[in-house]
Structure 1
Amino acid sequence: MKLFTIDQNGKFVQFKEQEFKEENKEIDLEILLEKNPEYFFDNSKILIIGRQVTTNLNTFIDLLGVDQFGNTVVIELKRGKTPRETLAQLIEYASFIDNLDYDQLNEIYQNYFGDDANLEDYHQEYYKSDPEENISWNKNSKLVIVASNITTEIKQTAMYLRKKGLDVFCVEFKYFVNNTDNKMISSDFVVGDEEFIRTRINSSAQLPKTDKDKFIAELDKNGKLVFESLF
């Protein structure tokens, strides 16, 4: 599909696809997604509560968000092709986030927005939710890779993880420029579906907590071969 803009003389000016990494750093992608999450995620709103969040292993989560139901959204960004270890990184981050309670999430939010910020209040304002609604904070986590090129290996492994019950999603974006330096981005889910954030987790029961060792132990033979080579 060709993309054009129309100039003031009624002439078509073509957009050409370009590698995002050629003229942008990863922080540029972070800022774009931080400011426009609903456009990357098919009109599904996400409240970003942290950027470059430090884990207990001294690694850094690119972006951390919360959906309207209080579920955490862990986002790993790649401005180019996804390397093989991307999913292992994401699961490591999830193992850290999995144990956080509301107070810890609020602390991350305050580090991001300022000491006077309050996650519960801003969450209610952001989603225009009923003040009487009971939010079950961090009952589940959604794990998201956003990249300009999601490799076949990552797609296949992500789909396998979804079959095993993990909420893993992959979003691929394309970057276009024209000769007047106008820019355009398109994005599509390549793993996962349009119900990304809108699906509600049943609040009547707590989902089981897991960690890396437990996760690998519960995999079948083929799954263990894949993930023992990644970690």
Structure 2
Amino acid sequence: MEIFSILGQQSYIGEWWTLPMRTFELVRGEKPVEREVEPFQSEGKLEELLHSVPSLLLEEDVLIIGRQVGVDTGTLDLLGIDKYGNVVVFELKKGDSGSGSASEGSILSQPQEYAQALHWLTYEDLDDIFTEYSTEVGAKDWPGSDGLDGDSLLDAFESHFRTTLPQETFNQNQRMVIVAEEITDRTAANARYLRDEGLHLQCVEVQRFRLSTDADSSPVLVASTVVDYDEKRVQPREEDAITYPEINEAIVSRAFPAFKDVTHATSPEELFPGGFDHREPRMHSQHPEHPDAVRYALRVKPLEEGHVRLSIDVTSRGLELEEVDKTALTGRIRDATDCFEQRGFHVDQSRNTYRIVTAHWDVDSVADVRDEAFLDEVAGRYADLVTIGHETFVDT
């Protein structure tokens, strides 16, 4: 008996993504008979299968260290560790990724909430999760317990990956994987956007096929990665590496006291509801008279682009706004050109969306960005940008 698959592919926004797979079996090597998709009986059955065969989850080796793990934001389905010591959260869904209780919003928001809760866990915390999981594997006779040799997570990691890591290098990154029988087009598009914004997010389809002419035939399992990213982004940070949360938060926390009152915020987190782990976080003022579409952006790219840049943007992206009069908003910004330029900012007279007002620093290395005096300088200018922006739009 021989099995082969025909996988349709289609170009979409510069990427390849999978269409429904057609699988055939060559009966006695002669007659091709199509195998039909046979849905899993329940989400629990899907979880049981993936727990016992974790190689279906990703095209890389993963050590499962938790099942139905309770965290502050809920209960995650499976928790793993990759070869770099990063945590990997698996959110499983029977059927397509946006159906039933898992809406298109929740199927992406849930693993993000789980990853956020796991962000603060130390090696000792992960070791506690692993110890509890190891006990449950023995007590409940769960299959798929390979790699659980040893009394600690470090022992199991060394046995599973044939290498070891310092305890302090665990959990440098939090990875999220959506696993469903079908990843919808909308889920895939949303996941790609979040991935490009800096989240370590992947989507995987796992389907079961059975020979259409024989209900008693053994099923065939097929797994395919629909949304992926380069492995380099989750490799351990080198000494010259930089993280968005680290530098973005350092700058904003220094600037916050200067614009706390004008933005009507009690903490920096209120101004950045999406957090600081983005390539270009944009501040959302809480002042009721400040236009929602006017944002204050921070972009720190010393290695990729050799610069640090502040800007005022006018954008409705990600906002539920019926209409944004960009011409009127950018007109008010340009009316304040003298105020901005007196404080050393450049006002572009042709742009209507991004980088209308900017401040720019050329930097050669991460060391330049980590310099305390430099951070103070950028934070001071960022405070000026926000303050002048509020003087422009808020009637004081």
**Same fold at TM > 0.5:** yes
Larger radius of gyration: 2
User: How many pairs were matched up?
Assistant: 216
Residue of structure 2 in register with 1:126 after alignment: 160
Between the aligned partners of 2:228 and 2:196, the Cα distance in structure 1 is: 11
Aligned with residue 317 of structure 2, among 217, 222, 226 = 222
Paired residue type of 1:222: R
Displacement of 1:162: 1.1
Q: If the length of structure 1 is used for normalisation, what is the TM-score?
A: 0.82
Contact 1:19 1:80 in 2 (8 A): no
* Cα deviation, residue 202, structure 1: 1.9
Does the alignment pair 1:47 with 2:63? yes
Q: Distance in 2 between matches of 1:68 and 1:88?
A: 25
Q: Does 1:192 align with 2:228?
A: yes
**Using a 3 Å threshold, how does the CA distance of structure 1 residues 82 and 104 change in structure 2: closer, same or farther?**
same
Residues 1-231 of structure 1: matches in 2 within 5 Å? 1=6, 2-4=23-25, 6=27, 12=31, 14-21=33-40, 24-42=41-59, 44-57=60-73, 59-83=74-98, 84=104, 85-114=106-135, 117-129=151-163, 131=164, 133-134=165-166, 136-178=169-211, 179=214, 180-193=216-229, 195=230, 200-204=235-239, 207=243, 208=245, 214=272, 216=274, 218=281, 221-225=316-320
Secondary structure of 2:317 counterpart: helix
- Where 1:139 maps in the other structure, the secondary structure is coil
Q: Structure 1 CA distance, aligned partners of 2:232 and 2:37?
A: 29
Which residues of structure 2 form unaligned runs of 5+? 1-5, 7-22, 99-103, 137-149, 250-268, 276-280, 283-314, 322-396
SS of the counterpart of 2:177? strand
Which secondary structure state, in structure 2, belongs to the residue aligned with residue 222 of structure 1?
A: coil
Residues 176, 183 of structure 1: 8 Å contact kept: yes
- Identity across matched positions, percent: 30
Cα shift at 1:174: 2.3
- Amino acid paired to 2:178: I
Q: Quick check: 2:38–2:210 contact (8 Å CA) kept in 1?
A: no
Gap regions ≥5 residues in structure 1: 227-231
For 1:165, the aligned partner's letter is G
Please tell me the residue identity of whatever aligns with 1:143. Answer: M
Q: Choose between structure 1 and 2 for higher RCO, CA contacts under 8 A separated by at least 6 residues.
A: 1
Distance between the aligned counterparts of 1:197 and 1:79, measured in 2? 30
Give me the CA root mean square deviation.
2.8
**CA shift in 2, pair 1:187/1:108, >3 Å:** same
